[in-house]
Amino acid sequence: MAMIAAKCPQYKVTVADINAQKIKAWQTEKLPIYEPGLLEVVKKALDRNLFFSTDIEGNIKTADIIFVSVNTPTKTYGGGAGKTADLQYWEKTARDIVRIAESDKIIIEKSTLPVRTAEAMERILNAKNKGIHFDVVSNPEFLAEGTAISDLENPDRVLIGSRETEKGRKAREEIVEIYANWVPRDRIITCDVWSAELSKLVANAFLAQRISSINSISALCEKTEADIKKVARAIGMDSRIGSKFLNASIGFGGSCFRKDILNLVYICERYGLHEVAQYWENVVKINEYQEGRFVQKMIHAMFNTIAHKRITLFGFAFKANTGDTRESPAIYVVRKLLEEHARVVITDPEALHNAEQDLKDSREYVEFETDPYKATQHAHAIAIMTEWELYKTLDYKKIFENMEKPAFLFDGRNILDHQKIHEIGFNVYPIGKSPLTHF
């Protein structure tokens, strides 16, 4: 919404959220999320044509277009628990809109939703005939956290789905007009609502599938002394495969990949497509396998016991350039290390606050430290969880000197020069390559 406001001064954009704390923070220098370049975009439009408010009712009344971007987490109860999306926040918003609206509106499905949700929402919206008409348009968001601003400024495509009726097409055209203020027309594609909804789930499933594919091969490389980086380079140069998303790692995290794939799995099961469901579910299973393998490797390397050993995690965010820790592999790793009675220290440039929230039930066993040098003092091992640039440039000689010996380094993101780190004295365990040890 900040990008739309910044690019289109002729529109008045109001962000309305029930969370008053967030709404307050959006109007300060300390935004509620860390996202490179976002503060500048917000500042450009704030109080000009970008406003933040907790007045949901008032803003529903006055808006012509409503982007519904509420959370759609995986359902944790009842039918479809653990797989399908929990639509209670979306449905509540739809019901609020019906109750409060006094004029025709375009309702944009911005949250990621399972296929055919827009149809259900349209029914709710248009059921109570107050003489008001609602058009539901699907406009899934393809930005990635950490690169949100460049993704929004220069998107590969903007997708807008609507009903193929005269009113539906007119509503769709109004949304095309907004994006056309800065996105080339040939990158704004339109289609029916269901195809738009499904495209978002499928895009995330394909991206996650690439990570699981390369991670599955990393396990084979570790057994056979092949090097996953060399394999990834060789296959990535095939223009049919392409080089992106081929970094082997501890696995994917984030609020979307797992939830969206499980949504897809659930839909397939509902339609009786069990083989298709299983195919996609395995993308999630390989991710869990990769996390489990990483922890097992740590325990095995450190002489089959990590009890009372001090282990420092470099990074807690699910990826670099974000403070977001939702579904971060680091959460799993910490829990497993604590089960083995290790002493865990976590450092991260942006995610420590969220890490403290995620681990509030075990805070007394975990240390949170902003300075990576302090965090590694007297540590037995370092595990790199997040590919922050910062961790590539640290003085590992200095770090090594202050650690217990033998010192271990488990590179869950394959970001370091392993040979160099080994020469300093570390026992190094990358992903998808043979370890470099001094034993």
Ligand X SMILES: NC(=O)c1ccc[n+]([C@@H]2O[C@H](COP(=O)([O-])OP(=O)(O)OC[C@H]3O[C@@H](n4cnc5c(N)ncnc54)[C@H](O)[C@@H]3O)[C@@H](O)[C@H]2O)c1
Tell me the closest approach of the beta carbon of residue 245 to ligand X, in angstroms: 16
Contact region for ligand X (CB under 6 A) — 4-12, 88-96, 293-301, 370-378? 88-96
**Minimum gap (Å) between residue 124 Cβ and ligand X:** 14
The answer, yes or no, to whether the previous bond of 406 is cis (omega within 30 of 0) is yes
Q: How far apart are CA 217 and CA 230, in angstroms?
A: 12
# of chain residues touching ligand X (CB under 6 A): 20
Q: How far apart are the first and last CA of the chain?
A: 56
Can 256 be counted among the known catalytic residues?
Answer: yes
Q: 35, 135, 141, 387: which one contacts ligand X (CB under 6 A)?
A: 141
CA distance 176 to 68: 17
Long-range contacts of 397-404, Cβ-Cβ distance < 8 Å, separation of 24 or more: 397/424, 398/373, 399/372, 399/373, 400/424, 400/425, 400/426, 402/373, 402/376, 402/377, 402/378, 403/376, 403/377, 403/378, 403/379, 404/309, 404/310, 404/378, 404/379, 404/380
**CA-closest candidate to residue 306, choices 414, 199, 165, 404:** 404
Which residue lies nearer to ligand X by CB, 16 or 436? 16
Q: Which of residues 357-416 bind ligand X (CB under 6 A)?
A: none
Instruction: Please identify which residue in 86, 145, 222, 327 interacts with ligand X, judged by CB under 6 A.
Output: 145
Does the protein bind ligand X through residue 325 (CB under 6 A)? Answer: no
CB atoms within 10 A of CB 163: 18
Q: Please tell me whether residue 175 binds ligand X under the rule CB under 6 A.
A: no
* Chosen residue from 31, 46, 56, 98 binding ligand X by CB under 6 A: 56
Residue 140: CB partners within 8 Å, gap ≥ 6? Answer: 109, 110, 112, 159, 196, 197, 199, 200
- Size of the chain, expressed as the number of residues it contains: 439
Verify binding: residue 28, ligand X, rule CB under 6 A: no
Where in 248-277 is the site for ligand X (CB under 6 A)?
A: 255-256
**C-beta nearest to ligand X: residue:** 111
Q: Does 93 bind ligand X (CB under 6 A)?
A: yes
C-beta of 56 vs 226, nearer to ligand X: 56
Q: Which of 122, 327 has the CB closer to ligand X? A: 327
User: 368 pairs with which residues across the strands?
Assistant: 346
Helices (H) and strands (E) counted in the chain, each on its own, are 17, 13
Given 8, 221, 256, 268, the catalytic residue: 256
Rank residues 106 and 399 by Cβ distance to ligand X and give the closer one: 106
Q: How far is CA 117 from CA 60, 88, 111, 194, 259, in A?
A: 20, 12, 11, 8, 16
d(C-alpha 396, C-alpha 179), whole Å:
47
Applying CB under 6 A, which part among 2-10, 140-148, 205-213, 369-377 lies near ligand X? 140-148
Q: Return the number of the residue (175 or 344) whose C-beta is nearest ligand X.
A: 175
Contact characters 217-236, ligand X, x per CB under 6 A: --------------------
Task: Out of 31, 46, 65, 70, name the contact with ligand X by CB under 6 A.
Answer: 70
In the complex with ligand X, the residue whose CB is nearer, 69 or 162, is: 69
Rg over CA atoms, the chain:
24
Residues with catalytic roles: 256
Binding site for ligand X (CB under 6 A): 16-19, 22, 56, 69-72, 89, 92-93, 111-112, 141, 143, 145, 255-256
